Amino acid sequence: MSNKMWGGRFSEGPDAIMEEINASIGFDQKLYSQDIAGSKAHVRMLAAQGIVAADDAKAIEDGLDTIKGEIEAGSFTFSRALEDIHMNVESRLADLIGPKAGRLHTARSRNDQVATDFRLWVRDTLDTLDVQLLELQLAFVAKADEFASAVMPGFTHLQSAQPVTFGHHMMAYVEMLARDRGRVQDARQRMNECPLGSAALAGTSFPIDRHMTAKALGFDRPTANSLDGVSDRDFALEALSSASICAMHLSRFAEELVIWSSAQFRFVKLSDKFSTGSSIMPQKRNPDAAELVRAKSGRIIGDLNALLIVMKGLPLAYSKDMQEDKEQVFDALQNLSLCIAAMTGMVKDLEPNLKELKKAAGSGYSTATDLADWLVRTLGMPFRNAHHVTGSLVAMAAERSIELHKLSLEDMQTVEPTITEDVFSVLSVDKSVRSRTCYGGTAPVNVKKQAKSWLKKLEKEKAAKQ
């Protein structure tokens, strides 16, 4: 028996294997709300243009509302034989209102229909992600403000480098997330063109008003080229690219949480809400939420790569390969949303161990650069010479297994006779971080100022979104 939605071209139904590989309803039913919204905008335009009678358009709209209610109530039966969300909706519409349902597909194709639905879903999801990222920024800002003066080691190569403040470290992620939000907003702005009316690939001979449907669906304008309108998936790739970079940022902090919460570091404590135990070792407290965020970043990045590979060899315009565009996007953006929510919870519940952080901040000769800077600033020594002198003093301290500030003035003067007692004024971690007052530096006064500025900006943005 032929598929009644295909028309008369096919005399036989699809083979079971063909039906299995061809059907997308298992995942694209997620687009039901966008599909119905697009259909309602389309039929209203058809009625306004005199292409479809007003009574027929009204019956179609009412039928679509009924279908949406059935889907949301869980009483709608999705059929694999009808392939996708579009044909499932149209078939049910025919059951409800009869032959009038057939007028809905006038002047459109599944090609422009799915491109429109997919854009609407991605756009809605990007808006949600932007709000979530704003909340995560606020969580980091709150921690930064609270611990603006708490010293901790800063690392390069995961080796102790220079002292920084815990607040400064938190604010680094506020900046990263701001760029993530910028990419999300930029992708949303660029994708906000409506493909509906491009039809299969060449447009349509019906006197449609594409500007009307674009406006009704909240798009800035219709797409300018019908071939591009149905074949473009840049918007999905940009969304995945933005998601991948954001996931990478979340993964970096997740990695730090895994390290910091270990018994070897003891920098932070994660709450019970985001930790698990071991089935065999009762002492264990595992940062599973952070580890899963770290792992999911690979999955999200993989989704981007998968869609790039799907699209890279496709000629214009539409090919069935593009049915493989949605699962990656659904998977990546939904997992990113989950990761952001988990990370927001972890940041809010995070308890820094101030004693351990301060102890570690002074280890590894972390104020050596402060000593070199003092030699330049106070003694007028060229920096390269100061670097050499400081290196010699660090070697002396390391040989004696003591910290740099434990060397006596006399010891230091054996390397550089002009060093004075004032040198000890720069060798404490607290004085080190307080001295970093240049713009973007770790000084507590800087952190407080940046945190207050970001808090004001973010709260204003949040109020505007509510």
Active site residues: 157, 278
Classify residue 312 as exposed, middle or buried by CB count within 10 Å of its CB (0-12, 13-18, 19+).
exposed
Rounded-to-integer distance, Cα 301 and Cα 332, Å: 8
269 to each of 68, 136, 203, how far by Cα in Å? 46, 19, 59
The residue assigned the tokens 């402060």 is 370
- Give Cβ neighbours of residue 237 (< 8 Å, ≥ 6 apart): 304, 307, 308, 311
Give 176's Cβ-side CA count (13 Å radius). Answer: 18
